[in-house]
Amino acid sequence: MTPAEDQINPPAERQLDTRYRHETPEGIELVLTLAGPLVRGLAWAIDFAIRAVAYLAFVLLLSLLGGVGTAILLVTFFLIEWFYPVFFEMRSGSTPGKKIFALRVIQADGSPLTWSSSLLRNLLRAADFLPFLYATGFLATVVSRRFQRLGDLAAGTIVVYEGQEEKRTARTAVPARPLPWPLDYGEQMLVLRFAERSPRLSAARRRELAAHLAGFTGREGTPGQALLAHASWLRRGRG
């Protein structure tokens, strides 16, 4: 893990919960809830049961075709086993088993899953299966800080809960404060946009932007808090 990620994911916090924080190049802080090995194992069991039913159905159907049916059956087994997860992950980010538990596969940077990553993470299930019953994959998720099996590590993917992003809001209500001097329309919009984006920004990015706008705040209080106070005053139509 890079030093930047260590700042976003303090070691003490990583030990307390399963939240994963990633700062985008735009300074937006994504807060995601990682899926642990137990729920992922249950999702895999459901997907396995679905594949088993499909296998049985194809066996009963294609056994009527003799040798040709056997050849088609082997190809069908191969396609289902290796491309079942890829097909569903590229459609919605989740296999049926994962969808039941509201899980989703995404890139580690918070972006949607790509074809190449989905294919790689699923082809490496063969390594995760070793020596039996996904023992290597389970051990990898236990020791990984982001619950990644070998396929996830190679493909740069993580499994998270859908719709569980932390809603970031202002920590405290900031009382309105008049502007220290008149600002033109463009400058007022900069203050309002800072306040609008502030709950979604990382602390470092908030400080950086506030420093650029410090000239609008006067000398009272920290630039960030002062900007929020001025934005509250502007929203009341007093600009």
pTM score over 0.85: no
The pLDDT of residue 215 is 75
Q: Which residue type is seen at 198?
A: S
The pLDDT of residue 197 is 75
The pLDDT of residue 26 is 56
Query: Alpha carbon of 225 to those of 84, 131, 140, 184, 231: distances in Å?
Result: 51, 56, 43, 21, 10
Is the peptide bond prior to 131 cis by the omega test (within 30 degrees of 0)? yes
Q: Are 179 and 233 in contact (CB under 8 A)?
A: yes
- pLDDT tens digit at each of 239 positions of the chain: 444 444 444 443 333 457 787 766 655 667 788 999 999 999 999 999 999 999 999 999 998 888 888 999 999 999 999 999 999 999 999 999 999 999 999 999 888 999 999 999 999 999 999 988 889 999 999 999 899 999 999 999 999 998 754 444 434 457 777 777 777 877 778 778 777 777 777 777 777 777 777 777 765 556 677 877 877 777 776 54
